[in-house]
Structures are given as C-alpha cells and as structure tokens.
Amino acid sequence: MNRKHYIINIFSGILFLAIISCSNRQTQQLVQLPIYYNQPSLDSIQSNAVYKYMQHFPNRSEIAIGLIKGKSEQFFGIRRQNDSLVYVENRKMAFEIGSITKTFTATMLAKLVYEGLIDLNEPVSNILPCKLKQDEVNGQRVTILQLANHTSGFPKEPDINLNMHIPASPYKNYDKSKLYDFLSNRLILQHIPGEKREYSNLGGGLLGHLIELITGKSYELYLQESICEPLKMNRTFVTIDSQRKECILPGRSPYGKIVPNWELGILVGGGGIKSTAEDMVKYLHAQMTDTTFFLLTQMPTMQYSEHNTAGLGWAWYNHEKYKFVDATGGTGGYSCIVIFERSTQTAIVLLTNVSAFLASKGDYISKLGIELHNSIFYGKENGFN
C-alpha cells in the first residue's frame, strides 16, 4: 500500500527531525496490557497492536482510543507507566490534533458553501485585502477549492520567514502582518493551480484566515458556532485559558519530557485545534451520517494517485474492498489519526501525547490506527498491500 497520504500532513520537517532525534533511542521491554473479564478492555488483537507500537513510546505517554461501529461506541485509555501498559480514563482529556484541524477548517468552509455565502471556485485574491505576488500560472488562478484540497501550488510553509527549527511552537509569533508580507513579496507558486496535489500547511492556514474574512468572526468563534456547539463538543477549542489548561494532557518529547503546547498564530486553521476522544467520536458520527455540509467535505475533487482521492480536507483510500477516509496530525508533543467508513458506519479515533518527532519515525500512529480500524471492521489484524 502506498502510505504517503498518511504522513504528509504531519508538519513539514518532522520526519527529518524525528530521524535525527530518535536514531539512538533504545526501546524497553513492556509488560502486556491486562485482560479484564468484568469490565471493557481491548481484545487480544487490539491489545497486541497497542503493545507492539507503544514499545517505541516513552514512559508517561498515553493514547486515547474511540471506536465506532454503527451506533455502538467504545473508549479506551492506555498509559505506559514504569514499562507497563495500564488502562486509564482519558476520554475527556484534550490532545493537540495537529493537521486534523484542516478537516474542521474544510467543514467550516463547506458550511459557507452550503449556505451560498461563498463559491469553491472563488479566486483567493478576490477575498484577501493584500495583493498576491503570484496568484496564477498559465492563466489559472488559485481558488478556495485548491487551498482545501492541496492543489493550489502554495509551498508547504512560508519558509523564508518562518523558523521551523524552533521546537517550542514554531508558528507562535506568525501573525497577519508576516503572512501578508510573505504573500505580497515572496509567494511563488510551485505548479499550475489545480494541476497536482502537494500538501501545504500554509494553504490550510490561509484557508482558515479566509474564513475569518468571509464571516467577520475569529476562527475559534466560528468553529464553536458551526461545529462544536451543534454537536455538543464541549472540550474542543483553540485558545488555552486557565480552565482549559486543566483538561489538556501534557504533550511529551520522544524521551518523555513535557513540552510546550503549540500556538499557530494566523495559521490556526492548519493545525491549532485541541480535542478529546469523546468529542472526536461525535465529530466522526456527524461526518458519517450528516447529508449536508459534512458530506460536502468528502466530495471527491481530484484523484492524485492510483488509490488516493482528495476531498475537502479529507483524503480517500480506495482499493478493491477497502474504501475509507482518513486524516493524520502531529505537533511537537502529540500525534493522532482518525479513520472512518461512511458506508459501514465504522470509525476509529486515536489520539496520543507522543511527539510527532518520534511517531513519524516508524509511522507508528498510522500503522496502529489502521490495525485497530481493521480489528473492528474486518475482525482481524490485516494490513494493506
């Protein structure tokens, strides 16, 4: 299986840094998860999958799992503690979800489209108050649709004036003036807009800002109004205040050290949301059952490889009997994956407080997520060829 789309939406540079920072890491022998007969626990296939991948994680790291099959939901929390795996209750604890934020941004955009407030083919330059240094190639202008499906030609990052080598929140001080300066003076499109798909954190972040300009509301306010409040996702947010800080599970470095939470500045729409397993299950239920703007986000817009198709924020994998939608995310202290199949009402949420600088090294989170997903849909551990 071509797993490229499982890892490209982890922030640019993470894979390279992961190899450097983790090359000398020694794994510890773990004590396997206990099997309970009088309370919910993972089955043997699921617990073996967790055991296999959490060997690479530091002590005090946790995973929060949400499983959906039809109307049935199950939640499991697991912590690596003194080289043992133990069950914990963490379904209500918030994790950074990194680039899975882009699916929320696309859903917010889809709502505006569904309500007739914006057209997907609207050129980006018609909305921005600043002039783009380059907004077309061969007569093809960058559109909102192309920001949402990563075919805009925008570079991955505004890398000339953004230092991605600062591990503690590299986007924190990236504000509107810096974004507009980059767009006006240094933006060079990498290809003809709409021609091919190349993942862009800059494009995802800019789309979030365009939603602010269209609605006249902050990204977080419109997030709450359009998605969180209707779905009763009460612990999904952007800004960390004193109250919210209490429900955030601290993110950890590859060696288990607590690291600062990332702040995304003006690029919040590319990766700034924090959420819980409980809230994310509500979100996936809506993605699988709603027939309005949630469904619009899954509209196929471009087939970019033999088995992969881009939607709005989401990506499809389709090969023989396998057809699912997924997204991954990662920051300096967290990594995660969500997978769902609308036709079978089957889904998984996997959130971790394990740095993507570690998790991307072996594509651990994607592989674990796929194995857990297969266990609930196919009833067995079954990789893709």
pLDDT tens by residue, 147-184: 999 999 999 998 655 554 555 778 888 999 999 999 99
Domain extents for the chain? 4-27+52-318+363-377
Q: Is 90 exceeded by the pLDDT of residue 101?
A: yes
Q: Is 80 exceeded by the pLDDT of residue 254?
A: yes
Out of 11-20, 159-168, 355-364, which region has the weakest mean confidence (pLDDT)? Answer: 11-20
Distance CA 35, CA 39 (A): 9
pLDDT tens by residue, 277-328: 999 999 999 999 999 999 999 999 999 999 999 999 999 988 777 789 999 9
Yes or no: domain 4-27+52-318+363-377 corresponds to CATH 3.40.710.10: yes
Residues in the chain: 385
Q: Is 50 exceeded by the pLDDT of residue 384?
A: no
Question: From the CB of residue 246, how many other CB atoms can be counted at a distance below 10 Å?
Answer: 9
Mean pLDDT of 26-33: 56
Tell me, yes or no, if the pTM score tops 0.85: yes
pLDDT band at 8 (very low <50, low <70, confident <90, very high): very low
Mean pLDDT computed over every residue of the chain = 87
The number of angstroms, rounded, from the C-alpha of 268 to the middle of its chain's C-alpha atoms is: 12
Out of 1-15, 164-178, 260-274, 293-307, which region has the weakest mean confidence (pLDDT)? Answer: 1-15
Who's near 207: CB < 8 A, 6+ residues apart? 102, 105, 106, 109, 144, 147, 148, 269, 270
